[in-house]
Structure 1
C-alpha cells in the first residue's frame, strides 16, 4: 500500500514493504485512516490535519478529537453519539432521533425519517 512504502522512509528498520503497518505505531497507522494521507506524510512525519486522536475511557466511551476543534463522543452503553463543532452540538440517539443545539441557542430535533421538530418528538 501507499502508506507502508511512505513509512519506509521514516522507519528504515522496517524491511518488508508488503507487511501491514504495525498497530502500535501511531504515526504510520494514523496515515492510513484517510485516503491519500500517506502522500502528505512523505516529506514530514506529522499526521494529516483532519486526523482524529482517539481516547477510550474505562467504560468504553470513545472520544475522537480533531485538530480543528471538532470532537465526536461515542457511548456504546447508551448508543448515544455526540458531535461537537464550532457551529453546533448534535446528539444522535440509538433510536434514530437527533438533537441539534446551535451556537446561537437555536434547537432542532429530527427523527429517523429526517423530519424536523421544535421539541423532542419522543416526548411530544
Structure 2
C-alpha cells in the first residue's frame, strides 16, 4: 500500500496491487499485478451510498463506489477476488476514518 499526499499528512490517493485478474464475465478487464489508484471519495462519489454500508465493507456498496474512484476503472459489475476487494475496502475505510481516530489508533500500537 502506497500513499500520495497533496495536503498535510492526509493522502488523497492510495494505491494497491491486484493479486488476481478483475473480470467482466469471462474476459479479463484488469490483469493481476496492475497497480490500482484509489482516490479519496467526495460527497458526489458517495451519493446513493451509506457510510454505514461502506464502514461495514458491504460488497454491493464497494462495487458501486469502485468505478467512481479507481484508476484504472473497476467497473461496477466486474468480478474481483475477495482479497482484492478487501484491499480496496481497506483503502476506502482509511479515507473515511477521521484524523483523530487514526491518531488514537497509532498511539496504541
Question: TM-score with structure 1 length normalisation?
Answer: 0.24
Tell which structure's C-alpha radius of gyration is larger: 1
* Greater relative contact order (Cα < 8 A, sep 6+): 2
Question: TM-score with structure 2 length normalisation?
Answer: 0.26
